[in-house]
Amino acid sequence: MKGDPKERRRFRRASFPCEIYILTAPLHVIQCKTENIGAGGVRVLIDENLPLHSIVGLKLYLSKKPIECRGKVVWIVKRKIEEKDFKFDIGLEFHQISSEDRQIIGIFVKSLV
């Protein structure tokens, strides 16, 4: 990461499929698994597009007790899955997260890599 001039992440990431709920509007919840996770955010692959720079609610399950915070959509890539099927690869930066929860995620990721 440090040696790669193209790498802009401040936090190390690990490939890990943990359960996450994305709350985009009152009563609209997207349930999926993370593609990767770091102390700075997560990457998810979902069926619907989210507006770039939008703020969403996040409920992340690394254990039985979820980490709840807000997330900001920082990048989106439309991926062709099959002939007529697309998914959205989305980067969510943690926003409004407690330092304790960010530290828990950082320790968790460090144990995986």
Class of domain 13-89+97-107: mainly beta
Ordered by start, the domain boundaries in the chain are 13-89+97-107
Percent pLDDT > 70 in the chain is 89
Pairing of strands 85-95, 67-82: antiparallel
Q: How large is the average pLDDT for residues 28-43?
A: 94
Binned at pLDDT 50, 70 and 90, residue 113 comes out as confident
Give the global pTM: 0.85
Whether 83 has a pLDDT exceeding 90, the answer reads no
pLDDT at site 10: 63
Q: Please tell me the distance from the alpha carbon of residue 100 to that of residue 112, in angstroms, as a whole number.
A: 19
Task: Please count the CA atoms within 13 angstroms of the CA of 89 that sit on its side-chain side.
Answer: 7
